[in-house]
Structure 1
């Protein structure tokens, strides 16, 4: 096969690959051989460059999304102040204050979801069947005032009794007794300077016992006042 035939055969193969219609070559259009070689070389160069670059570059939108997704990780946990973490910190501060005041055995501090709870036995706060705070009860509650005043919690005072019925002129049932006891605590807090819009009182009688009411020990532990602190909803 002559050189011309071999060249023509190569041109035909490249023309078929690039889908370029081929006409019979003459000396006048022999430039087509060089043109097809250049096109082939450029195609190979672009393929190699694309392979070395590791693929198509990310679009501006993709880059922005990636940066937004990575932002919380870069910021760590400092920007997300968890309410639960604040509640735990307040609980520890309350326990330390009660320990310093010698009241850690009389007042139980409980951290719960969305707030903190103080639990105090009625036997310390009141006489039997009474809703007037005892001197010791006043002292214990006054030790809580600085803690409550330094917080932004909504404060609910809940009164609880045992299941033994009461029927007096002032307290026809445990509902009235538990409500009156909660009210006396709220009045003390208000007189100590805690904003009244943060306060509310409620009585549960014996409807929410912690222990069985068929033993004296159980009834004693069910007679209690709970000061429930809850995070205020945003306005």
Structure 2
């Protein structure tokens, strides 16, 4: 009995937790604070956006030369702010999915303004492309001068011809028994001498190189190769491999065989038998395609095949032109186009 009474007494001593009936006031105050902050932020954002819309409308109006009918402004005073901003209503234009153009809702004056702006942008881009092509042409001419200097030191200036096209500077080496023997892709002593003169300058350039092998149009049988395709590719590969062994990085070069599909001169010309049988070392331009397409126009008469011009020769010509201009008061242009004559060697009747 006594033990049971003790248990009841202990249970009687336990009290219920006191409930705080004012806790809701804390949550309510927090909610009011958050709402106040939210409204302040929204008000601030709306004020900045309205000013930006006003600036946008002003800029577009100036661009079209008059206040556009697609933009209508009204003045509204912000309560309590003491500031005014222009509320701009912008016509979103035609639905992109309804087949209409973005100018379908514009007036003729606005369409003319848009067209003039587009044409002005095109003219600016064309001018920039032409300027870039002219500058690149000058850089390629300087590369030609350096290569010509190296060849002149070895007495080989007449062994190579130059031209500039949309690919870059093309260094043409006519093989005709000097570089490769007939039906062969093994470098001759004369060919090694030419490549030795070119390699140090080419190795210092940042440009990539493409070596193109070409055969003439004769229907001669290729003794050691199935066709002119394999022979031209083998000659290009031999040249690349030789350059790789003389300081030019492999990842800068590529070899291509064209057989007789890219004649240098008309096959009906008697010189074609020797001139079309060649290897082209192309110093590739770094320009994008739209600017590189202007390179032949930028180089003028230099777009034609010509003999190499050394740095000293280029400086002498530039000085002579400058003196002539100062004496006559006119602006002159220069361009040296060398002969495309056959190199001094025996005419061959094979590839």
TM-score by length of 1: 0.61
Instruction: Please identify, of 93-102 and 124-133, the stretch whose mean Cα deviation from structure 2 is larger.
Output: 93-102
Q: Is the 8 A contact 1:166 1:172 kept in 2?
A: no
The aligned runs of 1:1-235 (5 Å cut-off) are 82-113=135-166, 115-123=168-176, 124-168=178-222, 170-214=224-268, 216-232=270-286
RMSD of aligned C-alpha atoms? 2.3
In 1, Cα distance between the equivalents of 2:277 and 2:223? Answer: 21
Aligned length: 156
Residues 212 and 219, structure 1, Cα contact 8 Å, conserved in 2: no
SS of structure 2 residue aligned to 1:105: helix
Equivalent-residue separation in structure 2 for 1:152 and 1:94 (angstroms)? 15
Shift of 1:167: 4.0
In the TM superposition, what is the alpha-carbon distance from 1:113 to its structure 2 partner? 4.4
Contact 2:163 2:169 in 1 (8 A): yes
| Counterpart-to-counterpart distance in 2, 1:152 and 1:98 | 20
Question: Offset at 1:163?
Answer: 1.4
Runs of at least 5 residues in structure 2 that lack an aligned partner in the other structure: 1-58, 60-131, 289-351
Residue 152 of structure 1 aligns to a residue whose secondary structure is coil
Partner of 1:229, secondary structure, is strand
- Report if the CA contact (8 A) 2:222-2:228 is conserved: no
TM-score by length of 2: 0.41
